[in-house]
Amino acid sequence: MATTTLEDEALLLELLNTSPVLDGVPTDELAADEEAAAWATVRGGSGTPAEAAHVREVRDALQSVVRDHETPDVLAPFIDGAAMVPSLVEGTVQWRLEVDPDRVLATRVVLAWADLEETRPGRLRSCGNPECRLFLIDRSHGNRAQWCSMATCGNRMKARRHYERKRQAARAAQRDGALAEG
Ligand SMILES: [Zn+2]
């Protein structure tokens, strides 16, 4: 049953990426209730404090699961009691999510995560830069994407590797030189 839309996949990634490291400092775009409510409202939420709490909690749980720090069991409470209800609209079956309005966003992201895991396992992962806390969904053919963004982390890590190689080469040259002299 394909119930997850591309929109929900984007929602999932956006939610996972609400705690970026900015100038070396870990931040949380959902830390304040007001900010969390604004974030949710723009994405079809109701903007209530209860919803903000659910969104924050599901974000933390999903981050732990994607980072392999927790098993997916921690996601169970977020879909508990939710139901997908079919109805016939102009000749086609359409599915509607039935759950407490404050939990709609949290349930949608867990369903989007489950759909990704089932249809494209391993495609959702954390950025390869250990100092970055963002996530990516690899949509490339080769499934070798490592960075949340090539422009930021990709180039930074490439530059770092280049620097490390140069430093190692310089050290090796120094050692060889010392051996030759000794
Ligand atoms: Zn990154």
**pLDDT per residue as tens, the chain (182 positions):** 445 678 999 999 999 999 999 989 999 999 999 999 999 999 999 999 999 999 999 999 999 999 999 999 999 999 999 999 999 999 999 999 999 999 999 999 999 999 999 999 999 999 999 999 999 999 999 999 999 998 889 888 888 888 888 888 888 888 888 777 76
Between the CA of 22 and the centroid of ligand 1 the distance, in Å, is 11
Between the CA of 62 and the centroid of ligand 1 the distance, in Å, is 17
Q: Are 25 and 149 in contact (CB under 8 A)?
A: no
CB-CB neighbours of 149 under 10 Å: 14
According to DSSP, the β-strands at 21-22 and 25-26 are: antiparallel
Residues 123, 179: Cα–Cα separation, whole Å: 49
Per the DSSP assignment, residues forming a β-bridge with 136 are 125
The structure's pTM equals: 0.85
Between the CA of 33 and the centroid of ligand 1 the distance, in Å, is 26
Cα distance from N-terminal residue to C-terminal residue, the chain: 73
Between the CA of 58 and the centroid of ligand 1 the distance, in Å, is 21
